[in-house]
A and B are shown apart, each in its own frame.
Chain A
Amino acid sequence: SQQGEEDPQALSIQEGENATMNCSYKTSINNLQWYRQNSGRGLVHLILIRSNEREKHSGRLRVTLDTSKKSSSLLITASRAADTASYFCATMNTGFQKLVFGTGTRLLVSP
């Protein structure tokens, strides 16, 4: 079963705008990861944030984690058409090795 939910389910923006996606989860975690998936393809790892971290940056990506609210957000700045994809958050719970994925946000960036 899916651990969490992502919000919004779909997001449509123009190139150059910022995109923010939110993820909520249910149980205590060891870390939270964000992945990108282009249509019909495998997942590409974007960023991992550990439970004792609050914010992390990687290029145009910024991830925040609020363990008290069991939520995370992914911000993509200055979006490009190539950012069009589905974005998934996935949690790794303490003591387990499996990833538990959310339902994903479909991002469409128009030129």
Chain B
Amino acid sequence: DTGVSQDPRHKITKRGQNVTFRCDPISEHNRLYWYRQTLGQGPEFLTYFQNEAQLEKSRLLSDRFSAERPKGSFSTLEIQRTEQGDSAMYLCASSLASGRSTDTQYFGPGTRLTVL
């Protein structure tokens, strides 16, 4: 399967700890997105990269959150000093910006974070 993969699938942590999630996009895709989804809601945009450049960040992405895509391939999302309100599903998506069709985003299975 060459879809978007995320690791880990589940993470349980204690409040105040740091966590890091990884996303591997579809191999030829140059755009990568992070979204957060809480129970009963639709996903909310956090940030996106084109290649290694982070081009847009939501105000939801507080200074405790940082995302990187160092070589324009995989990406990591780190949350420092986690809070109970950070408990959510973190979804990664990727797309191919090729001029004609840049809009379909393909999602990974998500990382479910529980902060105790």
Chain A residues close to B by CB (< 8 Å): 1-2, 30-31, 33, 35, 40-45, 48, 88, 90, 92, 96-104
Contact = CB atoms under 8 A, between A and B. Distances in A.
Contacts of B106: 45
Contacts, number: 62
A35 B4 CA distance: 16
Chain B, interface residues (CB within 8 Å), range:
20 to 34
A41 B42 contact: no
B70 to A, nearest CB: 20
Interface in B36-58: 41-45, 48, 55-56, 58
B25 interface: no
B104 A45 contact: yes
Nearest to B101: A48
A45 to B, nearest CB: 6
Contacts of A41: 109-110
A44 B45 contact: no
A25 to B, nearest CB: 12
B54 to A, nearest CB: 12
Contact of A44 (B55, B103, B107, B110): B107
B91 to A, nearest CB: 6
Contacts of A40: 89, 112
